[in-house]
Structure 1
Amino acid sequence: MPEHSQDRVETLRVRRAPKISVFLIAGAALGVFVAMILTFAFDGTSQVSPNTGVEYAQTQVFGFLALICAPIGIAIGALVALLLDRRSRRHTREVSVDHASVQVDPPSSDDAAR
């Protein structure tokens, strides 16, 4: 089978960029961890709420704090990821890449008859 190949050398920029999703998940986990610490550090569940007269359970307090702390943690994680991404742009390097493409011609009708 006849083959046609093309070789060309290209110059590309390479940089190591952080995965933003990892930082967002880590920020959310950190926010939930901070909510857990705040829930158990300050025992405010034994007091009745002055506005509604309701006494909240410790799991409810944790849920409220997690709803507040998780988005803050996500925002902090995103900010750190963006700062590291901006820093990684300064450390780009150029590399030469040998790009080869090979095309195989389909067999002709004469080859199929054999």
Structure 2
Amino acid sequence: MAAQPEYAPPPSVTDEVETVTVRRAPKYSVFLVAGAALGIVMAMILTLAFSRPAETSQYTGIEYAPMQVFGFIALICVPAGIAIGGVVALIFDRTVGRRTREVVVDHERVQLPD
């Protein structure tokens, strides 16, 4: 015959009704990525708006290709766009975060016997 398993007492369950405060918050990563994308678009616009025929720089004596100019401008515009996106997310968090509401929840705890 197969061995019978030992009797295990049932777990103890406690049920509590609590009131919690819920508030909405923006996803910061979405705003930071949108800011970076805005920075890249601004770098493209600035590169195309102020592009001149390739000529030698009077300071370094090097000729810069349009993609190099885009890269240099993107090094400034992308971090600036990320910073602007972060500030916008903070402003949304402060304005939307003020609206809170209280919700009644059922909190159930299950404790297994040792």
Q: What TM-score does the superposition give when structure 1 sets the normalisation length?
A: 0.85
- Provide Cα deviations, 1:46-103, integer angstroms capped at 9, x if missing partner: 2321211211001100000100100100010000000000112211111111101123
Q: Which residue of 1 aligns with 2:3?
A: none
> Which structure carries more helix by proportion?
1
* Runs of 4 or more above 3 Å deviation: none
Aligned-partner residue type, residue 89 of structure 2: A
Correspondence 1:1-114 to 2 at 5 A = 1-105=9-113
Q: Is the 8 A contact 1:45 1:55 kept in 2?
A: no
Q: Equivalent residue of 2:33, what SS?
A: helix
Show structure 2 runs of 5+ residues with no match: 1-8
- What SS does the corresponding residue of 2:60 show, helix, strand or coil? coil
Inter-partner Cα distance in structure 1 for 2:15 and 2:33: 42
Coordinate RMSD, CA, aligned: 1.4
Equivalent pairs: percent with the same residue?
Answer: 60
Number of aligned residues? 106
